Amino acid sequence: MSLISPACRDALQHWLGGQKSLNGVAENTLLAYQGDLGEFLSFMSLHKGGPQGLGALENITVSDMRSWMAQMRGSGVAARSLARKLSAVKGFCRWLSEREGLEMTAVLSMRAPKFQRKLPRPLAEDAAQSMIETVELQSASNWVSARDVAVVTLLYGCGLRISEALGLTWAETPLPKVLRIVGKGGKERIVPVLPAAREAVNIYTRLCPHEYDPDALLFRGVRGRPLNARSIQMVMAKARMQLGLPATATPHAMRHSFATHLLAAGGDLRAIQELLGHASLSTTQAYTAVDTAHLMEVYNRTHPKA
């Protein structure tokens, strides 16, 4: 950050603070923004021959932006990652334009590089069920097995993110028929809870040896601390090896499976968007591509003319 002028450094910290307090941006995302923008501002300082004040940012040209993007690609940054970096740069510069009255058309008009969006990798319905059953076998402790099953069932049965499942508190038990979940960006949504998920959590709470505390997080580690997402990732990794499933069979894949299986059963795309807490319908539309890809695979494999 030594190449960045004090004014730019202060503005960056101010913007990051706003992203956290006003937009509820997650800590990991803020760190990514800080790194991306630090790289960008440092590059512009070197490119222009010295630290650039806020006013000098107005002089960034399309050619300067292309040089930055070329340097990123030349250093091995993939198109998808560069698109993310450009998005952060635009967000910061858009804020600067509004706050300082700067004209930053060259930055804001840049187009992100094209890249092939990765489709979600859901599990087949029988594989999702087998995953839950196999997760239960990974621990000799009944309460730990019940805990792992409860978490994975919430991911698949309710479409929760792992952070959302691990963010539940004891005060929310026994689970109601619907949960109020606060997801990314502080976006709130209502999620129906299947009987199987409620029962899995009930079994866990009956077996859990740790003291009930309404304000404490529901899922605990062996020593009583809040359960870490890494523990669920590891137990699923063991289960998928036993089942012969690919490395993409992760906790997030259970959420993907929830959405894909709902869509395949005739679920409404808008309703699924609400259940997942996606801010944009285009994010949810990725699941239609998965469903279409599966349909074409079945068609090519079974059609008599194939």
Contact 156, 128 (CB under 8 A): yes
Q: How confident is the model at residue 274 (pLDDT cuts 50, 70, 90)?
A: low
Read off the pLDDT of residues 101-157 as tens digits, 9 standing for 90 and up: 888 888 888 888 775 555 557 778 888 889 999 999 998 899 999 999 999 999 888
Contact call for residues 243 and 133 (beta carbons, < 8 A): no
The angle subtended at Cα 210 by Cα 208 and Cα 215, nearest 5°, is 105
Residues tagged active-site: 161, 184, 252, 255, 278, 287
Indicate the pTM of the whole model. Answer: 0.59
Tokens, residue 27: 């800590």
Q: What are phi and psi of 164, to 5 degrees?
A: -70, -40
Closest by Cα among 178, 148, 190 to 166: 148
> Per residue, what are the HEC states of 22-79?
CCCCCHHHHHHHHHHHHHHHHHHHHHHCCCCCCHHHHHCCHHHHHHHHHHHHHCCCCH
Q: What is the mean pLDDT of the chain?
A: 81
pLDDT at 81: 87
Question: What separation in angstroms does the CA of 77 have from each of 36, 85, 135?
Answer: 11, 10, 36
pLDDT band at 227 (very low <50, low <70, confident <90, very high): very high
Which residues face 217 on adjacent strands? Answer: 169
3-state secondary structure labels for all residues of 153-166: HHHHHHCCCHHHHH
Where is pLDDT greater, at 305 or 34? 34
- 104, HSE (Cβ side, Cα atoms, 13 Å): 23
Q: Tell me the helix, strand and coil percentages in the chain, rounded to 5.
A: 65, 5, 35
Contacts with 261 (C-beta within 8 Å, 6 or more apart), sequence order: 122, 125, 128
pLDDT of residue 146: 95
Q: Residue 237, Cα to own-chain centre: how many angstroms? A: 19
| Distance (Å, whole) CA 218 – CA 212 | 9
Per residue in 17-30, pLDDT tens? 888 777 667 788 88
**What pLDDT sits at residue 294?**
47
Query: What residue spans define the domains of the chain?
Result: 6-108, 125-301
**Fold of domain 125-301:** hpI Integrase; Chain A (1.10.443)
How large is the average pLDDT for residues 61-68? 91
> Is the pLDDT assigned to residue 297 strictly greater than 60?
no
> What is residue 115's DSSP assignment?
-
Class level of CATH domain 6-108:
mainly alpha
Between residues 25 and 66, the one the model is more confident about: 66
What pLDDT is recorded for position 290?
45
Neighbour tally for 117: CB within 10 Å: 10
Question: For the chain, how far is it from start to end, CA to CA, in angstroms?
Answer: 59
| CA 99 from centre of chain | 29
Band (266; pLDDT cuts 50, 70, 90): low
